[in-house]
Each structure stands twice: as structure tokens, then as C-alpha cells.
Structure 1
Amino acid sequence: MHVLIVDDESFVRRSLAELLERDPAACHSVSAAENGLAALQILQTREVDLVISDIRMPGMDGLELARYISEHEPDTETVLLTGHQDFVYARQALRYGVREYLVKPISVESILGVVSAAGERLQSRRQEQQVLRLREKNLRRKLLTDLLYGMPLPFFERHLIPPFSSFAVLSVSLRGVSLPGSWSEQSIYAAVINILEEYFSPHAFTVGIQEEQAVMLLFATGTAGENGAADDYDDTGASGDTGAADKSGSTLKAEADFTRCYHELAVQGLEKLTALLKSLFCAGMSGFHSELEALPEAYRESLEALRLAKLPEAAPVVRHSGACAAGADAAADEELHSKAKRRIISVVIDRMEARLQENLSLKLMADELYMNPTYLGRIFKEDMGEGFSSMLTRLRIKRAKELLEDVTVKVYEVSERVGFRDPAYFSLLFKKAVGVTPQEYQKHNNRNPR
């Protein structure tokens, strides 16, 4: 934890610094400033977790410093020290979000206690932020996976994707058919995502999604988002629509340079994969697109290019060309369609399991996914081997069995929690599926605890 001590008395600064640096319970980085103005220079150049400041100092006093911190450095905590027991000071200090207001002379135990408490809050806050970042990252991947297969992106979740000027998709796969060494397919492609996300992040906002025997990597340019810096080519006006006939020669040249830059980055990224994972990889790169709704098309383009990259003597990274798009690779279309159906079914089942208590229906699921109910019902039965209603009942009975293992829960409560408003009807379906009534099932579990 970085602590900044601000006091116009050199003895106080030195004593507090030595005390914190010798603290056996923590490892503190300590800076010191003789007044508020000197403290500002440190705050503007370094990340400071805790400021311990005197109130009365020349130039800028502690209260002015506290106000600056509350307005410009909200993650920095402030503790004020003073030799004056003045309620007005304390009241102002609280208004500026000051954590503690200590009156000199201060004992060693008091100052160490304040710093220790600040350290615990800092650690807790960082853990919460890390959890939130991971949740956001996982949600972003889920949303992009849905969008990949043509499912709509809810408008209220678009903030998860920062504004961008254009994006492309890179599909990466092992060049051989066998897995190297002791790697599993899941583990090696998880490593591919980690390596390429880190590699591309200085150049573009990057998200990797693990697919069957491949990785889909989306990189969006012209954004200063969480995972990437603003792109150097952002002023070219490139939209990725390289086939447009009405573009000027200068614009086409800029877009060609833009595409070539990312093609070279992709080649270098594969070289890095080979060096780290000791395996050969190939990749197909889509054209650049400007609208996120074009993600399915970009993915299809990358699959077509990847199919060419897997051919003998092919370059490690193959860029999608306009000619390839015009001739629409039927195999890539079929692969994308098959994956899309599986993704849709997976989303539907996840929603069913999470919302068993609701009055669910095939039409409701279809409406939420902007799909035709008849089509959804057909692909659901083709993939699962049973209809939506049959699957819903089976999931509800499965959940009811789990709930009935708690003998304190009433049968009618279980009935409601799994979506049956009529307990008698619930009992009838339960006995038909399990062979005994819910009451008998619960009593049996009570006699034979696990």
C-alpha cells in the first residue's frame, strides 16, 4: 500500500515514515510532502492509497488537500492530523470524505491501527473490483457468443462493448489434427485465448471465445476501451467495406494499409503461439466491418479463410477476400448454422433452468430470442430428442427432487418453486415421472439420509 505523509514539520514526516516502513504486519511504500501543493504533485504522478495529512500547513492546508482528493482521487483515503481540537475542522473533514480525524499527539498503536484498517479496506475493494471485472468479462463473452450466431444484443448491455470504428474476426486452429503432448483441446485453446488477448490488447479491444476445435478472436479498432489502446489507424476512416465501388483511391490505400497492419499482427501472434505452446497454428482473418450486427458475417468469413489456411502449403494466416465472399463457402455456412442451432438450444435450456418458477412457454422463449416459435420448437426437438414442454417438465421434476431432499420444505412450496400452481397436478406429474408421490419421496429421503 502506498502511503503519502503530508506535514510541514520534517520531524513528523520522518517519524511517521520510519514507523510505517518498519511495520512488521505490512509492507508499505511511503512518500512524504511538506505541504498540500507538494502533495498534489505526487498525487498527479503516482497512485496513492492513503494520505495522512496535517491540517494547518502553508500554501495548501489539509482541508483543501482533502477536498481535492475527494473530487479528483476518490479511491484515495484521507486521514487528517491536527493539534487543534476544533469541531469545525472535523465537520468540514467529514464533508470531504475524510476517513479519520486524529488529534495530536497520536500513539503508535493508533496510527498503525488506522493504516491497517485502510489496508484491509483497500484489499477488500480490490477483490470486489476484480470479481466485477471477471463477471463483466464473462458476460461480454456470452453476449458476443450469442451475437455470433445471430441472436440480438440487448440495448441495455451494449455498454459492455466500447465504441469502435471497425472490427475483424480471427479464427485460430491447430494446423495438425492431433493434440500436442499432454494438452487437452480445452486447455490448449484456453491458452491460445490468454496469449492472443494479451498480444492484441495494446492495439485493439480484444475478446477471445473458445469454439469447437478453434478460437474465435474479435478485435475492435479505434477504441480506447478497457482491453486496448486507441488504434493508430483510427484517422483513416476505414470501415472494412473493402468492396465498395465508390471509394476514392486514397481511402482504399488507407484501408489496405490498415488491413495489412492487422494481418501482420496476426502472423506475429501465431509465431508467438508456436514459440510458447510448441505447436503449429493457422488462422483465417475476416474483412473489417463497422457494425456489430455484422459479427455473424465476419465469423463466417473467418471460417472460410481458416478452411483455406488448413490446406497444405497455405500461408499461416489467410485473409478473407471479396471473391471468397461472393462464392459463399457452403461448408462454412453449414458449420456456422450447426453451431448457431446448438448455441440457441444451450441459451434456451439455461433460461429454462434459471426460471423454472415462471410461466414459461416456447412462444415466450422464441419472442425473447426474436425467433419463430415453430422453427425454435423444431430445432429444439431435433437437437434434444424431445419437445420443449417435455424438457421443461423433466427439468422441473429434477429440481423438485433436489428441493424435496430438505424435509422441512412443504410439498406445496416445492410445487410453487418449480412452476406448478396446482399442487395436485404437480403430484400427479411427479408420481408419473418418479414412481412415487412427492410426499413418499420426501419421507423416503428422511428415513435414508445421504
Structure 2
Amino acid sequence: MNILIVDDESFVRRSLSDMLNTAGAKWTVAGEAENGLDALDILAQVPIDLIISDIRMPGMDGLSLAQHVRQHYPGTELVLLTGYQDFAYARQAIQYGVKDYLVKPSSVEDILELVANLQEQLEKRKQEAQLNRLRQKNLLEKRLHDLLYGIPLPYFDESIIPPYDSFIVLTVLLKNETLTPGWKESTLYNAVRNIAEDWFLPYGRAIGMIEEQEGPIVLFLHSLSESDSEEDRLLAASFVSELAAILKCSFCLGLSERHKSLESLSSAYRESLQAARLAKKSPDATVTHILDVQECAAPAQMEEHIRVKASRRVISLTVEAMERRLEEDLTLKTIAEELYMNPTYLGRIFKEDIGESFSSFLTGLRIAKAKALLDDITVKVYEVSERVGFKDPAYFSYIFKKHVGITPQDYQKQHRPLQA
């Protein structure tokens, strides 16, 4: 944690600085300033986590500094150190987001305790922010993955899409099947994704995904010229060279045209996959743009490949939603609405892929969850019934016995731990 000390008395600055530097292994006094104006100069150059400032200073006082910090450095905490026990100042300090204040003279113990508490809060806040960024990134990848297969983006997730002028899809394939010793294909495409997200930063935001035997990347552009396929080819060729140099494998890449609407992401993916497959077949090509492909329509084999993968994706999302909402009165229509799909179509592909109907599979999930809950002998059968979506305990017992062969009560007795 970087600390900035602001006080017009040099003795106070020096004393605080020596005290904190001596006591704190997790913090550093990154600067000292005589007043608020000098503090602004330091803030513009050095990242500061905590400011300890006098309230009355010439030039710019502590309250004016607090107001500026709140507006321009919202992540920086501020503690006021003052000899004036004035309620009006304290009230203004709270208004400007001041974290706390100490009255001069404060004991060493009070100051160190306050700084230590703020250090702990800062670490917790940074961890939470990191987790939130990871959750947002995972959600963005998931939603883009859905869009590749034509599954619509829920309106409440539209805000997670990065700002862009246009986007292209790049699909990376291994040029040959020979892998560097110790590598697996999934590990390799994960590395491709990570490299892409850093490498394309000067041009936009790249979001990579991992598929079986391919690595699609959605590149949201903000700085390149409008619809320049040659520029896109050169950019992709440089990226493929970078991949080969880092991962010591031979790659090829297919490029879609530039698109403006997310509704066309599925079409862009098809374009890039078709181009990538042509590049893989060509002995000399490493990058192929969809404009280089002579066939107008995608081959039937590729369309079937995408259809099968899209169905798997839909089934995966359906089962995930069912498991998440077992307590509810679920129907096929409920899940279809969540996935923005036609219930009849969803029911048909579900039965084709799983081999049983939606309702039959849902009952199986509920019975499996009920058995896991009944292993805890302190849980009542009626509680289990509610937690797996049966509002009537008698009907739950009937369905449970039909599938398991015994009642929930007998199942729980049989799984009671032996007494020592």
C-alpha cells in the first residue's frame, strides 16, 4: 500500500514517515507534500492508496484535497489529521468521502492501528475486484460462445460486451497434428487464447475460446481502418508468426469479414472456420480470408459439425439451468424462455442428444439431488422435498420410491452412520 503524507509542518511529515516506514512491512510512504497542491502533483505521478493529510494548510486545505480525490481518484482513501475538534469539519469530511480522522496529537498505536485496518480493507477490496473481473471475463466468454452458435445474448448481459466499431472472428487451427512433447491440444489452444488477449491489445479487445481441435477468437476492433481485408490479413499473419515463435508449433488461421452487429457473430464464425479449413489443406498458406474462398456456401460436412456442436452447447446450457433451478416448478417452456429458444425445438434436440425427455431427465436430477440431501440424517424429508422442487411431500415420496425402490425415510435410515 502506497501512502502519501500531506502536512505543512515538516516535523509532522518526517515523524509520520519514519513511524510508518519502520512499522509497516505491507506499506510504503511513497511521498510527502506540504499542502494539497503539492499532493496533486504527486498523485498525478505515483499511484497512491492512502493519503494522511492535515486539515488546515495554505494553498489547498485538507477538505479541498478530499473533494478533489473523491472526484478524480475514487480508489484512494483519505484520513484527516487535525488539531481542530470541529463538528462542521467532520461533517464536511464525511461528505467528501474521508475514511476517518485523527485528532492531534494521536498516539503511535492509534495511527498504526488505523493504517493497518485500512491496509486490510484495501487488500480485501482488491481481491473482490479481481474476482469480479474474473467473473465478468468468464461470463463474457460464455455469452460469446453462445453467440457463435446462434444462441441470443440476454438483454441484461448486453453491458458486458466491449465497445467496438466492428469485429472479426479468427479461427486458429494446428497446421499439422504434431505437437510439442508434453503439450495437449486443449492446453495448446488455451495458450493461444491467452497470447491473443495480450497480443491484440493495440487494436482492440480479443476474446478467445477453446473448442475441440480449434481456437476461435472474437476481435472487437476500435482502431483499424474501415473494411480493409488486406490489413486484416497482415495482422493475422503477424499473429500466427508470434504463435509459432512462442509455442513452437505450426498454425494456420481463418479470417471472417468485418461485421457490425453481434447478431452476425454466428455467420462470422462460419466464415472464419471455412477459411481456416482451406488454409489447413493448403501446403503454403498460413492465413486465409473468407474472401479467398471460392465456394459461396459452407460445405455440408462443416455445417453438420457446427450443428452438432451447437446442439451440445444448448444441451449443456439446458442441464446447467435445470440443476441451478431444481427448487422451482420447472417446465421445458421455462428453460426455453431463459435460453431464448423455441420449446418444441429444444425438447426435440434434448431428447435426440440425451435419449430421454426433458421431464424424465429433470426427475432423475431431482432424485439424485434428493439422495445426496438425505445422506444428512438431520434434514427432514419434507425439507428435501421442497429443495428438489416437490411441493407435496407425499407425491415426492411416491416418485422417490418409484425410482429408488424404497421410501425417502427408509433410504435415510439405511444411510444412517453406524454408532461407534
TM-score (normalizing by structure 2):
0.95
1:421–1:183 CA distance, 2 compared to 1 (3 A): same
Structure 2 equivalent of residue 88 of structure 1: 88
Quote the residue 1:290 is aligned against. Answer: 260
**Counterpart in 2 of 1:247?**
none
Q: Which residue of 2 aligns with 1:181?
A: 181
Contact 2:253/2:279 (8 A) holds in 1: yes
Query: Helix, strand or coil: the match of 1:205?
Result: strand
Report if the CA contact (8 A) 1:308-1:314 is conserved.
no
Following superposition of structure 1 onto structure 2, how do residues 294-333 of structure 1 map, counting pairs within 5 Å?
Answer: 294-321=264-291, 324=294, 326-333=296-303
Determine if the alignment matches structure 1 residue 34 to structure 2 residue 34. yes
Within 5 Å, which residues of 2 pair with 1:428-439? 428-439=398-409
Alpha-carbon distance between aligned partners in 1 of 2:36 and 2:308, rounded to the nearest angstrom: 64
Quote the offset at 1:80 in angstroms.
1.0
Code of the aligned partner of 1:443: K
For 2:281, what is the secondary structure of its paired residue?
Answer: coil
Gaps of 5+ in 1: 223-230, 239-254
* Larger mean Cα displacement after TM superposition, 353-362 or 83-92: 83-92
Report 1:35-434 matches (<5 A): 35-222=35-222, 231=223, 233=224, 236=225, 238=226, 255-256=227-228, 259-321=229-291, 324=294, 326-434=296-404
Tell me if the contact between 1:301 and 1:325 (Cα under 8 Å) persists in the aligned partners.
Answer: no
CA-based RMSD of the aligned residues comes to 1.8
1:444 equivalent to 2:414? Answer yes
For residue 83 of structure 1, report the CA deviation from its aligned partner: 2.4
Deviation at 1:446, TM superposition (A): 0.9
Identity fraction in percent: 54
Q: CA contact under 8 A between 2:146 and 2:152: conserved in structure 1? A: yes
Please give the alpha-carbon distance, in whole angstroms, between the structure 1 residues aligned to 2:372 and 2:294: 53
Q: Cα offset for 1:374? A: 2.7
Query: Per the alignment, do residues 109 and 307 of structure 1 end up closer, same or farther by CA in structure 2, a change over 3 Å counting?
Result: same
Shift in alpha-carbon separation, 1:105–1:366, aligned structure 2, 3 A: closer
Partner of 1:251: none
State how far apart, in whole Å, the 2-side matches of 1:424 and 1:109 are: 64
The secondary structure found in structure 2 opposite 1:274 is helix
| Distance (Å, rounded) in 2 between the aligned partners of 1:422 and 1:55 | 66
| Equivalent residue letter for 1:76 | T
Instruction: Quote how far apart the aligned CAs of 1:90 are.
Output: 2.2
Structure 2, unaligned runs of 5 or more: none
- Deviation track 1:342-396 (CA, whole Å, cap 9, x = no partner) reads 1111111111111112222223323333333332222111111111111111111
Amino acid at match of 2:408: P
2: CA distance, partners of 1:185 / 1:417: 40
1:71–1:99 CA distance, 2 compared to 1 (3 A): same
C-alpha displacement of 1:323: 5.2
- What TM-score do the two structures reach when normalised by structure 1? 0.89
Q: How many residues align?
A: 419
Asked if the contact 1:17/1:30 (under 8 Å) is kept, the reply is no
1:86-114: CA deviations, max 9, x gaps? 33322322222222211222332222222
Tell me how far apart the structure 2 counterparts of residues 385 and 264 of structure 1 sit (CA, whole Å): 47
Q: SS state of the match for residue 419, structure 1?
A: coil
Distance 1:202 1:176, change over 3 A: same
Note closer, same or farther for the CA distance 1:174–1:165 as it changes in structure 2 (3 Å cut).
Answer: same
Whether the 8 Å contact between 2:3 and 2:27 is mirrored in structure 1 is no
Give the residue type in structure 1 aligned to 2:117: A
**8 Å Cα contact 2:270-2:298 kept in structure 1:** no
Name the structure 2 match of 1:252.
none
Whole-Å Cα distance in 2 between the matches of residues 322 and 270 of structure 1? 18
Moved >4 Å (runs of 4+): 322-325
